[in-house]
């Protein structure tokens, strides 16, 4: 599409402002705490500087232990801190592992070769540097369903409460407890900022402290304001009209609700707030006993009989090197890489390891129980100017507003509202949450970006988003998610070569429940669009016209709906479960309730791979809580 001279001027202005933003962010976020060569020995080695690894490293360094964090990628680029544009890192050769699944038998019909691309962060900050920043804490039933001692709903509630620093607007404001990690950006803080090591023993705030900053180890949340967002207001009003409750995000309940999204964005500067920023970066500045080695990929574990005593890794020049751990090695490399490292090190099922002549150190079901959230995005056209689109984004005022005030579209993730859905049972009681609706405020969807990131066929994309060429299109994407899929797949190494990616088969939609769960969630979204709140905005849902799904589109055609889900469902980027935690007598468990690998000394896993079952929503904040709790368990033993 040709740009007019006005649009061209906007592009020039936007480019100029981008350079200014880059210079500002590079200055603001500069850090010199990285090393080029590690010591021979550390107390703890944390493999992976992602969401969980950053938390673990900061906590362990605060105990005066010698800690090495080893990360396969480098530092994130400056634009990863700009919330709205950071997802373009997906598919990047330098910052994304660029995993892909094997061809799917029952899903991914709109994708080339029926293969899903699985973006996973390969940089300090991990996937937390390129996700969509949604903060959720799951529901009580999520944790009780795990049936793992020490990880029940009450324990997790206590952990999440300790990580919360809610202030103004709470019915009963409370000072932060030992490790405040969530702080709303638009409210005055209650606490002064002790140094990181003081957080360990801090139980309350001084009554005489003025409104200063909360500790640096706080994840800041940007609350989307419905009074400033007409589209979000329509979403919440539609929820009420359909009989759903509307609540705040900190509600701890198994009942469904509609809510304004809370996103992990620092409100003053308007940049992404990941655990790299909140935990690792401050710890690197305060503790000389914490070393971070980048562009070094761990290939396997080093053993002394049944104990892990270190790691083997490839440095940036491809040389094989080793580092010893006096106490423990902690795998936080993410579901795929953690699984690969374990299997290449001899921890896994014999039917995977023996054909590759990998000596078996521990016969455990590593790589099984793979699960992922699937989303079905549908485009809703509007005739009211209430949404974001490319033309509005290219307005120089947007860049100026972001650079000077940390506000505007660039300071958002585009996610404005979320809803957890339940069903009413025959006894009149509500079910546990089964689905989620996400409101993504974007009217013009870029075909080149979207198809390359998600591996979507161009023809399918244009049948899906027929007005994508209109840069000023008004509308939004309504995303439907089945929260607790029953399909289970696997991750398996297929080569002794650690540079070769493993086989990833999520077995999407091989369980009929997942299809119907997705259909039920979509139907709830359709019901919203029929309310007065959305009719007033001229909302019109575009049903994709996939030829394989027949000529009659709509939610009343079961055959079409099943075909729609099997054709259009995409990953939500939440792979989990391949090193699941469980009780000692659980044959499916890879790690025990303290996240120690069963039958192995000196080795724990602390990332999404330990989740027995996905929580009711994006798991990023849950993983922060798990890492905090894991650090407590480790330090308690020492």
- Binding residues for FAD are 51-52, 298
Roughly how many angstroms between the first and final C-alpha of the chain, as a whole number?
63
CB proximity list for 63: less than 8 A, separation 6 or greater: 200, 635, 638
SS3 for 559-614, per residue?
HHHHHHHHHHCEECCCCECCCCECCCCCCCCCECCCCEECCCECEEECCHHHCCCC
* Residue 475 near residue 379 (C-beta atoms within 8 A): yes
CA distance 97 to 90: 9
Backbone angles phi, psi at 183, to 5 degrees: -135, 125
Q: What are phi and psi of 256, to 5 degrees?
A: -75, 160
Contact residues for 421 (Cβ-Cβ < 8 A; gap 6+) = 244, 256, 433, 434, 435, 436, 437, 520, 521, 524
User: In terms of Cα–Cα distance, which of 230, 537, 534, 535 is closest to 383?
Assistant: 537
Quote the tokens at residue 434. 């089964």
Annotated binding residues: 51-52, 298
Q: Which three-class secondary structure state does DSSP give residue 38?
A: coil
Q: What is the DSSP string of 508-574?
A: TT-SHHHHHHHHHHHHHHHHHHTSHHHHTTT-EE-----GGG-S--STT-HHHHHHHHHHH-EE-S-
Q: How far is CA 360 from CA 328, 339, 344, 352, 537, in A?
A: 20, 15, 10, 10, 61
* Structure tokens that stand for 360 in this block: 């078996």
Element (H, E) at 140: helix 140-146
The residue count for the chain: 638
CA–CA distance, 59 with 635 (Å, rounded to integer): 9
What is the DSSP secondary structure assignment for residue 4, as one 8-state letter?
P
Query: Tokens 């949604």 correspond to what residue?
Result: 134
Please list, residue by residue across 433-468, b when 16 or more beta carbons sit within 10 angstroms of its beta carbon and e when fewer do.
bbbbbbbbbbbbbbbeebbebbbbeeebbbbbbeeb
Chain-centroid distance of CA 229 in Å reads 24
Tell me which residue of 627, 624, 579 sits closest to 606, measured CA to CA.
627
Please report which helix (H) or strand (E) contains residue 452, including its range.
Answer: helix 447-454
CB 199 within 8 A of CB 58: no
How far apart, in Å, are the Cα atoms of 596 and each of 55, 155, 435, 580, 622? 18, 19, 32, 11, 19
Which tokens is 320 given? 């094989």
| Closest to 485 in 3D by CA, of 516, 454, 522 | 516
Helix axes 512-529, 230-241, angle to 10 degrees: 110
């Amino acid at each position: 599409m040709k740009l007019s001279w006005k649009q061209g001027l906007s592009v020039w202005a936007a480019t100029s402002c981008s350079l200014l933003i880059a210079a500002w962010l590079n200055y603001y976020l500069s850090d010199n705490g990285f090393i080029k060569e590690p010591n021979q020995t550390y107390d703890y080695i944390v493999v992976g500087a992602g969401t969980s690894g950053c938390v673990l490293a900061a906590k362990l360094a605060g105990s005066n232990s010698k800690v090495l964090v080893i990360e396969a990628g480098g530092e994130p680029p400056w634009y990863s801190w700009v919330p709205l544009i950071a997802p373009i890192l997906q598919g990047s050769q330098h910052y994304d592992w660029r995993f892909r699944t094997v061809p799917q038998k029952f899903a991914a019909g709109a994708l080339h070769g029926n293969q899903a691309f699985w973006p996973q962060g390969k940089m300090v900050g991990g996937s937390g540097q390129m996700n969509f920043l949604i903060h959720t804490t799951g529901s009580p039933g999520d944790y009780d369903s795990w049936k793992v001692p020490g990880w029940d709903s009450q324990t997790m509630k206590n952990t999440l409460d300790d990580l919360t620093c809610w202030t103004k607007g709470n019915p009963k404001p409370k000072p932060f407890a030992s490790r405040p990690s969530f702080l709303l950006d638009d409210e005055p803080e209650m606490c002064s900022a002790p140094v990181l090591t003081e957080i360990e023993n801090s139980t309350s705030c001084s009554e005489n402290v003025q409104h200063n900053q909360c500790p640096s180890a706080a994840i800041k949340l940007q609350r989307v304001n419905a009074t400033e967002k007409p589209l979000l207001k329509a979403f919440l009003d539609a929820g009420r009209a359909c009989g759903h409750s509307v609540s705040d995000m900190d509600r701890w309940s198994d009942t469904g609700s509609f809510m304004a999204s809370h996103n992990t964005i620092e409100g003053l500067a308007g940049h992404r707030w990941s655990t790299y920023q909140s935990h690792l970066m401050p710890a690197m500045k305060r503790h000389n006993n914490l070393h971070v080695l980048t562009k070094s990929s761990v290939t396997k574990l080093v053993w002394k009989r049944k104990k892990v005593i270190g790691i083997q890794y490839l440095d940036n020049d491809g040389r094989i090197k080793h580092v010893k751990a006096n106490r423990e090695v902690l795998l936080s490399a993410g579901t795929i890489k953690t699984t690969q490292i374990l299997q290449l090190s001899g921890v896994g099922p014999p039917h995977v390891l023996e054909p590759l002549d990998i000596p078996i150190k521990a016969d455990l079901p590593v790589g099984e129980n793979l699960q992922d959230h699937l989303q079905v995005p549908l485009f809703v056209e509007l005739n009211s100017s209430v949404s974001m689109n490319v033309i509005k984004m290219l307005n120089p005022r947007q860049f100026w507003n972001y650079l000077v005030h940390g506000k505007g579209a660039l300071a958002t993730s585009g996610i404005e509202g979320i809803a957890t859905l339940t069903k009413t049972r025959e006894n009149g009681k509500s079910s546990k949450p089964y689905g989620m609706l996400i409101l993504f405020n974007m009217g013009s969807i870029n075909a080149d970006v979207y198809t390359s990131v998600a591996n979507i066929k161009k023809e399918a994309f244009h049948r899906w988003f027929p007005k994508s060429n209109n840069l000023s299109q008004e509308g939004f994407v309504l995303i439907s998610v089945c929260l607790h899929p029953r399909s289970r797949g696997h991750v398996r190494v297929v080569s002794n070569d650690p540079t070769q990616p493993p086989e990833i088969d999520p077995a999407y939609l091989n369980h009929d429940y997942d299809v119907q769960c997705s259909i039920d969630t979509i139907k709830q979204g359709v019901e919203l669009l029929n309310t007065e709140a959305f009719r007033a905005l001229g909302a019109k849902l575009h049903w994709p016209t996939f030829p394989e799904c027949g000529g009659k589109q709509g939610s009343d055609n079961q055959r079409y709906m099943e075909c729609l889900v099997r054709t259009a469902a995409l990953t939500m980027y939440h792979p989990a479960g391949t090193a699941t935690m469980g009780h000692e007598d659980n044959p499916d468990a890879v790690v025990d309730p303290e996240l120690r690998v069963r039958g192995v000394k000196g080795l724990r896993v602390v990332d999404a791979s330990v989740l027995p079952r996905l929580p009711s929503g994006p798991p990023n904040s849950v993983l922060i809580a798990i890492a905090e709790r894991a650090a407590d368990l480790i330090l308690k033993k020492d």
